[in-house]
């Protein structure tokens, strides 16, 4: 792994590529979600992508081995981190894949620099511009799962629009009581995301997309 000194933070990153000459291969950048780090991809889909592309994984600011910023975690700042990292690494026209919060960061990056990415892949991302505001109370199966969560001592506000932050807080509390729980949850979410990205890739191939262009 290596680090990139940017304007307000230092980002930790890792690059993977096939053996031999990788000149001309597509560039893929993987952006993890809230409270994760580059290992979210490293132990799952990154090695598969590295067989056909040059892959860059990174820790978002305040995550993993990247430094904490003095100014907080606004999406605009995190998107600018991506722009500065790509410039630092001299990566042009990358295919971006973002999971959860990483997808939101990716969307902000693309809106500010629409000519820079070759493609965008959103994995389990909430985009308020395109999705209606929903709460747990709107979910037909909520009552069933609420009873299960209550038994586990997990209390979620069914009328809140910020489910992700609620879950993060409850996971932290569970982790304090049982450190093995967080690891199990991380493995489960990683497997789900890998299946989702692989399915998208298979559909691209089935639709006649050119593998050489990674599009």
**Residue 122: which domain range?**
2-131
On the question of pLDDT at 168 being above 90, the answer is no
Task: Please check whether residue 66 lies inside any domain of the structure.
Answer: yes
Q: Tell me if 94 is assigned to some domain.
A: yes
With pLDDT > 70 as the criterion, what percentage of the chain qualifies? 83
CA–CA gap between residue 178 and residue 78 (Å, rounded): 32
Provide the token pair at 30.
């993987």
Q: What is the largest CA-CA distance in the chain?
A: 55
CA atoms of 46 and 170, how far apart (whole Å): 29
End-to-end CA distance of the chain: 28
196 found inside a domain: no
Q: Is 175 part of a structural domain of the chain? A: no
Q: What is the pLDDT, as a whole number, of residue 209?
A: 47
pLDDT higher than threshold 60 for residue 167: yes
Q: 125 in a domain, yes or no?
A: yes
Q: What is d(CA 197, CA 45) in angstroms, rounded to the nearest whole number?
A: 8
Sheet holding 2-5, edge to edge: 2-5, 10-16, 54-58, 27-31, 95-99, 119-123
To 10 degrees, the CA torsion angle through 122, 103, 215, 212?
Answer: -120
CATH number at residue 92: 3.40.50.1820
User: CB atoms < 10 A from the CB of 93, how many?
Assistant: 12
50 band by pLDDT with thresholds 50, 70 and 90: very high
The answer to whether residue 113 scores a pLDDT higher than 90 is yes
User: Domain tally for the chain?
Assistant: 1
For residue 181, tell me if it sits in a domain: no
Please give the structure tokens belonging to residue 68.
């904490």
**pTM value > 0.95:** no
Residue 62 lies in a domain: yes
pLDDT of 112 higher than 70:
yes
Q: What are the helix (H) ranges across the chain?
A: 39-42, 46-49, 75-89, 101-112, 142-151, 163-177, 179-206
Identify whether 152 is part of a domain: no
Residue with tokens 């299946």: 195
Q: What confidence tier does 212 reach under pLDDT thresholds 50, 70, 90?
A: very low
**pLDDT level of residue 205 (50, 70, 90 thresholds):** low
Check pLDDT > 90 for residue 202: no
Give the pLDDT band of residue 192 (cuts 50, 70, 90): very low
Pick from 17-26, 104-113, 192-201: least confident: 192-201
């Amino acid at each position: 792994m290596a680090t990139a000194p940017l304007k307000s933070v230092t980002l930790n990153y890792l690059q993977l590529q096939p053996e031999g000459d990788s000149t001309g291969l597509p560039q893929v950048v993987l952006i993890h979600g809230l409270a994760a780090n580059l290992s979210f991809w490293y132990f799952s889909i990154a090695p598969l992508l590295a067989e056909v592309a040059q892959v860059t994984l990174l820790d978002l600011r305040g995550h993993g081995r990247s430094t904490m910023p003095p100014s907080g975690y606004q999406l605009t700042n995190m998107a600018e981190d991506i722009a500065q990292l790509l410039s630092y690494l001299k990566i042009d026209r990358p295919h971006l894949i973002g999971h959860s919060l990483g997808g939101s960061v990716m969307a902000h990056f693309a809106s500010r620099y629409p000519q820079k990415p070759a493609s965008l892949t959103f994995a389990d991302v909430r985009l308020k511009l395109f999705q209606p505001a929903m709460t747990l109370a709107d979910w037909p199966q909520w009552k069933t799962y609420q009873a299960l969560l209550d038994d586990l001592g997990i209390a979620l506000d069914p009328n809140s629009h910020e489910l992700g932050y609620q879950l993060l807080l409850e996971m932290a509390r569970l982790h304090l009581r049982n450190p093995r729980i967080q690891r199990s949850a991380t493995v489960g979410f990683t497997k789900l995301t890998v299946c989702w990205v692989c399915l998208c890739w298979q559909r691209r191939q089935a639709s006649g997309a050119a593998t050489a262009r990674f599009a």
